[in-house]
Chains A and B, each alone.
Chain A
Amino acid sequence: MIALLRRDLMLAFRAGGGFGLGLAFFLIVTVLVPFSVGPQSDLLSTIAPGVLWLGALLACLLSLDRLLALDFEDGTLDLLATAPLPLEAALSIKALSHWLTTGLPLVIAAPVLGVMLNLAPAGFIWVIASLALGTPALSVIGTFGAALTVGIKRGGLLMSLLVLPLYVPTLIFGAEAARRGAIGLDGTTPLILLAGITLGTIALMPFASAAVLRMTLR
């Protein structure tokens, strides 16, 4: 398992691996928002938690395409399916490496972008906490979407269509916690619910993903 994680991280960091692509996308989306809604600082400050969450979600989605498709094309998935490592574990590791290369940098970058969006000082901790708790769920659910569409040619768009509705509860609770925090309210309740979703998906989604992947490889 460690070997798979190390290999995936190594691939992500080498040239053409796509590390930083999601981060750059996050940056650009966030920078484009003031251009589209105007530079009024109070307006930006109101929408900042939501924009950060939506940007992080889209950045996650962007990199899901490569998560399994490359391994499918070069036959790695066939070989992994016959390896002693259970496919469920392999997919959990894949999701983990996706989170380490996409989700974690987003969490770290969010405060910087929060400054640009004039996020209220009280909101920073809530934005970071909700993103740190929520992005693992995005990676795990995304792995399921990637496994569903990996056998389909040009499945990227279809994957977005399938994954985005599944992201709704995570987005609602995550953005709600950040929003409440930013206006000085207590965001503990949505944060706990968000943590519940994250833990639940981490525990259960790999089984669905592995089942779906076995059907695709057949």
Chain B
Amino acid sequence: MSLWEYANPVKFLGLSARLQPYLWAAAGLCVTVGLVWGFFWTPDDFRQGSTVKIIYLHVPAALMAINAWFMMLVTSLIWLVRRHHVSALAAKAAAPVGITMTLIALVTGAIWGQPMWGTWWAWDPRLTSFLILFLFYLGYIALWEAIDDPDTAADLTSVLCLVGSVFAVLSRYAVNFWNQGLHQGTSVPVATGGRTVADVFWYPLLISMVGFGLLFLALVLYRTGTEIRLRRSRALLARSRGDA
């Protein structure tokens, strides 16, 4: 029993159909609990007041915006190396979810930034990096849309994803070099293990982040299923035309 067996579209669809109800339920529960707890049962921050509560939307969205690209990078690599169609289609399915998360992070950031920094937009490294990430998503999706042959499209977008990742990292450092910003340090430093957020804020935030992760997973499974069925109907159409 190997993990690669789920690269078979039929097996993948079966597993995904069994998992999806639980995923949707868990995602809904976590997001609701995280957001409601965060918005209504946490104290106001002594400096930032109630505006801090947008963190429960902003941070998880930003987290998933980056993770979605990372997932696309991994699935693109799997497609290029092992040529599993499901992998390429999962990358395709993740892109619109990722760009939406990026957009949510940017918009909530602007809404948060207005009362805090007195401006909707600043050319702060973090904001700028997310804007660049948004552009990369845009190019990736546009390239998928522009190519007729699905395998060529998968190949080209995969290479774009790899090259884009390198340049996204380069851009991140370039932007840091270019402008030291206003943005507070990360709320969830993975590397150091320390936290800059107090426990009362942390637990709802954690639940919300888990919820967004599950939501992302459910959305990607759902969209990948749609893409697989689309390909199947195209293949059937092509075959019936070939027979005629």
Taking Cβ atoms with an 8 Å cutoff, the residues of A that contact B are 144, 148-149, 151-152, 155, 158, 161-162, 164-166, 168-169, 172-173, 176, 190, 193, 197, 205, 208, 211-212, 215-216, 218
Alpha-carbon distance between A173 and B171 when the two chains are bound, in angstroms? 10
CB closest residue in chain B, given A162:
B139
- B167 contacts across to A, CB distance below 8 A: 165-166, 168-169
Choice from B138, B142, B164, B178 contacting A166 with Cβ under 8 Å:
B164
Most A CB contacts (10 A, CB to CB) among B136, B138, B164, B174 go to B174
CB closest residue in chain A, given B134:
A165
**Can you list 28 contacts pairing A with B, beta carbon distance less than 8 Å?**
A148-B143, A148-B160, A151-B147, A151-B152, A158-B146, A161-B135, A161-B139, A161-B142, A162-B143, A165-B132, A165-B164, A165-B167, A166-B167, A168-B167, A169-B170, A169-B171, A172-B175, A173-B174, A176-B177, A176-B178, A193-B174, A208-B162, A211-B159, A212-B156, A212-B159, A215-B155, A216-B156, A218-B152
CB closest residue in chain A, given B138:
A161
Contact A172 B174, beta carbon cutoff 8 Å:
yes
With contacts A161-B138, A164-B135, A197-B170 known, is A152 near B175, CB below 8 A?
Answer: no
Q: 7 tightest A-B contacts by CB?
A: A172-B174, A169-B174, A169-B170, A165-B135, A215-B155, A162-B139, A168-B171
Q: Name 13 extra pairs, CB < 8 A, besides A158-B143, A165-B136.
A: A144-B163, A161-B142, A162-B139, A162-B160, A165-B135, A165-B167, A166-B163, A169-B171, A172-B174, A173-B177, A176-B178, A215-B152, A216-B156
With contacts A161-B142, A165-B132 known, is A172 near B178, CB below 8 A?
Answer: yes
- A162 contacts across to B, CB distance below 8 A: 139, 142-143, 160
Contact B146 A152, beta carbon cutoff 8 Å:
yes
CB distance from A214 to the nearest CB of B (A): 9
Residues of chain B from 169 to 211 with CB closer than 8 A to chain A in the complex: 170-171, 173-175, 177-178
CB distance from A186 to the nearest CB of B (A): 14
- A190 contacts across to B, CB distance below 8 A: 177
Most B CB contacts (10 A, CB to CB) among A144, A158, A166 go to A166
- A193 contacts across to B, CB distance below 8 A: 174, 177
Contact B159 A168, beta carbon cutoff 8 Å:
no
CB distance from B161 to the nearest CB of A (A): 11
Alpha-carbon distance between A161 and B163 when the two chains are bound, in angstroms? 15
CB distance from B126 to the nearest CB of A (A): 15
Alpha-carbon distance between A181 and B146 when the two chains are bound, in angstroms? 42
Alpha-carbon distance between A152 and B177 when the two chains are bound, in angstroms? 36
CB distance from A108 to the nearest CB of B (A): 26
Contact A152 B147, beta carbon cutoff 8 Å:
yes
CB closest residue in chain A, given B155:
A215
With contacts A152-B147, A161-B139 known, is A216 near B132, CB below 8 A?
Answer: no
Contact B174 A165, beta carbon cutoff 8 Å:
no
Most B CB contacts (10 A, CB to CB) among A164, A169, A218 go to A169
- A197 contacts across to B, CB distance below 8 A: 170
Residues of chain B from 119 to 147 with CB closer than 8 A to chain A in the complex: 132, 135-136, 138-139, 142-143, 146-147
- B177 contacts across to A, CB distance below 8 A: 172-173, 176, 190, 193
